[in-house]
Amino acid sequence: MKKHRRLFFTIIASTVIVIAVFLSGCGQSQKEVKDVPQVSQQQANTGGTTAPENSQTGEAGEEKPAATKSQPETNPEQNNQDKSQKPPGNRSQLPRRPSDTRFYERQDSQGGIGVEVIWLTPEYLQARGQKLTPEEEKDLATNFVFNIALTAHAGNLMEFNFSGNTSLKVNGRDAGQGTWEFVNQDSHHPEGMIRFKVPANEPVRELTLSINNLGGVPVREFKWEL
């Protein structure tokens, strides 16, 4: 009988211990569940991840507008340089001229008088090694300048009217009265330069210099084609 009571009390005690352990485990589980951080509705909608913070704005999901590139500033000096390369309105547009000095030199020998004509241009003078001054550059830019040298063994060539008997045609049209300037005043070897104004706004394609009534020759023509 005593053995039956002892066994009964042992079973009861074991049952109480099991129940106590079970209840203790349930309490711990509930505590752990309470300690789990709640997932926000936004995280639940995005699969549990949050949008990265934007380094430019400091706010998630917002972006600052991209910075616009500034337009390059214009250079006034460059504009002035581009304008300076264009020919002035009062001078003709000359095609590209050769650097060969022979292109500008012409000769004629009739009536016992030799004539040498040189169309003076920056290209010709530079090819001959001459450095132009600003005044010479301006002169050659606004005038057609020709150097004329005569040679004779008889008579007095200083009596010849150079400006009145020398004419120039530009593209077949008369360039007007020329201005004569002596370089060497010699009866047998006179030399000088004659200038004609460059026509405005007209590309030059052909020049014809004529010397009339020299040494009994009605016309001596010297031509340049560009």
**CA–CA distance, 57 with 64 (Å, rounded to integer):** 6
Segment (H or E) for 81 = helix 76-84
Asked if residue 54 is part of any domain, the answer here is no
pLDDT in tens, the chain (226 residues): 555 556 556 666 666 575 655 666 555 544 444 444 444 444 444 444 444 444 444 444 455 545 445 555 555 555 544 444 444 444 445 556 888 999 999 999 999 999 999 999 999 999 999 999 999 999 999 999 999 999 999 899 999 999 999 999 999 999 999 999 999 999 999 999 999 999 888 889 999 999 999 999 999 999 999 8
Count Cα atoms within 13 angstroms, Cβ side, for 11. Answer: 6
Asked if residue 83 is part of any domain, the answer here is no
Cα-Cα end-to-end distance for the chain: 147
Asked if residue 62 is part of any domain, the answer here is no
Asked if residue 81 is part of any domain, the answer here is no
* CA–CA distances in Å: residue 26 to residues 20, 30, 34, 35, 38: 10, 6, 12, 14, 21
* CA–CA distances in Å: residue 139 to residues 28, 104, 168, 182: 110, 17, 17, 16
**pTM of whole model > 0.85?**
no
Asked if residue 127 is part of any domain, the answer here is yes
| Structure confidence at residue 34 (pLDDT) | 46
Asked if residue 96 is part of any domain, the answer here is no
Asked if residue 35 is part of any domain, the answer here is no
DSSP label at residue 60: B
| Structure confidence at residue 201 (pLDDT) | 83
Asked if residue 74 is part of any domain, the answer here is no
Please list, in sequence order, all residues whose beta carbon lies within 8 angstroms of the beta carbon of residue 60, skipping any fewer than 6 positions away.
50, 51, 52, 53, 54
User: Which region, left, alpha or beta, applies to residue 141 given φ > 0 means left and ψ of -120 to 50 means alpha?
Assistant: alpha
What is the domain count for the chain? Answer: 1
CATH label of the domain that carries residue 124: 2.60.40.10
* Domain carrying residue 112: 102-225
Beta strands in 85-165 (DSSP E): 105-110, 113-120, 143-152
| Structure confidence at residue 51 (pLDDT) | 44
